[in-house]
C-alpha cells in the first residue's frame, strides 16, 4: 500500500463557529501532520492518522488565539494535539467518499464522519520539488460540547457567546514516500 506523508506546508484545518448569534468567527490550524495509506486504484483501503497542533490556531485576533489555548477551550497544556484516526471509508461516487474515524480532542474521543473529495496524484515539476502528491478536501460538522468544550454556551441576553456547532474544513496535501 503506498504511504503518503501529509505536507504541513500545504495542509490546513479550518473552522467556522457562530459568535454572539450574529456573526461567524473563522480560524485555521496551520500545523497539520500525519500519514495516509492510500492506493488511488482502491480507495476503499484508505487509512489515515492525522495530528493537529492546537497551539497553531489563528483567528486573526491574538487575544482570542491565546484564550483558545486555555482550559476554557482546547487546554493546550494538557491536550496539545487533536488526533484523527480513520476506521472506514464509504465510496459516494467518482472521487467522493465518506471517511469514518475517531477524533480525539480535549481528552475526549468520539466517532466522526468526514465528507471528502480526492484529487491526484500529480507529479510536481522538479524545479519546485519533484514529489508525487495527492490532495483531500474534507468537511464535517462537530458539536464542541460533545468534546467537553463548553465555554460560552450558556445563554446570555437572549443569545450565546459561541455556538456549540462548529463547521470544519480540511485541505490536505500529501507526498508519496519511497
pLDDT one-digit tens code per residue, 39-75: 988 888 999 999 999 999 999 999 999 999 999 999 9
For residue 17, the model assigns a pLDDT of 87
Please state the rounded mean pLDDT for residues 18-33: 87
* Cis peptide bond N-terminal to 157, omega within 30: no
Q: pTM here? A: 0.91
- Cα angle 118, 120, 125 (rounded to 5 degrees) comes to 150
Percent of the chain residues past pLDDT 90, beyond the cut: 75
pLDDT at 139 over 70: yes
What confidence score (pLDDT) does residue 154 get?
A: 60
What CATH code is carried by the domain that includes residue 104?
Answer: 2.40.128.110
User: Domain residues for 114?
Assistant: 3-176
Q: How far apart are CA 148 and CA 70, in angstroms?
A: 13
Q: What is the bridge-based pairing of β-strands 47-53 and 57-58?
A: unpaired
Residue 165: what pLDDT? Answer: 76
Q: Domain total for the chain?
A: 1
Mean pLDDT of 11-28: 88
pLDDT (mean) for 125-145: 93
Backbone phi, then psi, for 68, in 5-degree steps? Answer: -60, -25
Instruction: Count CA atoms closer than 13 A to 133's CA, side-chain side.
Output: 18
pLDDT of residue 153: 62
Closest CA to 119 of 142, 107, 135, 139: 135
Amino acid at each position: 500500500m503506498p504511504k503518503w506523508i501529509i505536507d504541513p506546508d500545504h495542509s490546513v484545518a479550518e473552522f467556522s463557529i457562530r459568535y454572539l448569534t450574529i456573526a461567524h468567527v473563522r480560524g485555521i490550524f496551520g500545523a497539520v501532520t500525519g500519514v495516509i495509506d492510500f492506493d488511488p486504484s482502491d480507495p476503499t483501503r484508505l487509512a489515515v492518522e492525522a495530528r493537529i497542533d492546537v497551539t497553531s490556531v489563528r483567528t486573526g485576533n491574538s487575544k482570542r488565539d491565546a484564550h483558545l489555548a486555555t482550559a476554557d477551550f482546547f487546554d493546550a497544556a494538557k491536550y496539545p494535539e487533536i488526533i484523527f484516526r480513520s476506521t472506514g471509508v464509504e465510496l459516494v461516487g467518482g472521487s467522493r467518499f465518506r471517511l469514518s474515524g475517531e477524533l480525539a480532542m480535549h481528552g475526549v474521543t468520539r466517532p466522526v464522519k468526514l465528507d471528502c473529495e480526492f484529487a491526484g496524484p500529480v507529479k510536481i515539476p522538479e524545479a519546485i520539488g519533484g514529489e508525487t502528491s495527492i490532495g483531500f478536501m474534507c468537511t464535517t460538522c462537530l458539536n464542541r460540547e460533545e468534546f467537553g468544550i463548553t465555554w460560552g454556551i450558556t445563554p446570555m441576553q437572549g443569545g450565546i457567546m459561541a455556538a456549540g456547532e462548529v463547521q470544519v474544513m480540511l485541505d490536505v496535501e500529501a507526498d508519496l514516500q519511497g
